[in-house]
Amino acid sequence: MRAFIYTGGTVRADFITEHPKAEDLCIAADAGLRTAERLGERVDILLGDFDSLGEPPHDAPYEILRVPAEKDLTDTQLAVELALDRGAEDVIIIGGLTGRLDHTLSTLAILEDLHARGVYGTITDGQSRARFLRSSSILVARSAYRYIALVAADETVKGVDIDGCKYPLKGATLHRRRQFAVSNEITGNVAFISVKKGGVYIIESRDL
């Protein structure tokens, strides 16, 4: 099952290409309810402490789960845990890449946590789209996102191959403290990315 999680922050609605189907689970994390409404998407569950959204409507046509304001996990992280509890095997987070940097970084880290649990994860706000890859390979189709970058998540990432891009790599080593595999561009219909050892964030982005 796929789960869509809508969060707060700026979302370029005209550039969002990920939309839920009838069988998908849709969760709004606090002010993510406004994001879902702007996109014209339904909400099955609204979760949060409602410090950003304010009190939800009493006659809401969705399940409401209130969580304490003082807690260890963010509303987005709690929404992900809820999605996994409900059986999600593919999680798509809409939003969460703009605004406070601490929230952005913690949201990106969700991708690595999902990967470790065998769950496929994607985060997008329309300007950027992020995924996580560890010691594996992936095909990335050319899209409206102009740029593609590999950002090392580990101290060193070894055996990195990039094919089908303007700046190919073969057997390269990436370093977390000195990133250089950024602002690449897919030149064909698809890019092939492979990592022998280590984890990377694969980030597609566009200029606004």
- Please compute the mean of the pLDDT values over residues 152-160 and round it to a whole number: 97
- Please compute the mean of the pLDDT values over residues 161-187 and round it to a whole number: 95
User: Could you report the per-residue pLDDT of 183-193, keeping only the tens digit for each?
Assistant: 999 999 999 99
20-57 in b/e burial notation, b at 16+ Cβ within 10 A? beeebbbbbbbbbbbbbeebebebbbbbbbbebbeebe
What per-residue confidence (pLDDT) applies to 57? 74
Please give the distance of CA 188 from its chain centroid, rounded to a whole number. Answer: 24
User: Could you report the per-residue pLDDT of 111-145, keeping only the tens digit for each?
Assistant: 999 999 999 999 999 999 999 999 999 999 999 99
User: pLDDT grade, residue 200 (50/70/90)?
Assistant: very high
Q: pTM score, two decimals? A: 0.92
**Has residue 157 got a pLDDT over 90?**
yes
Of 49 and 112, the one with more pLDDT: 112
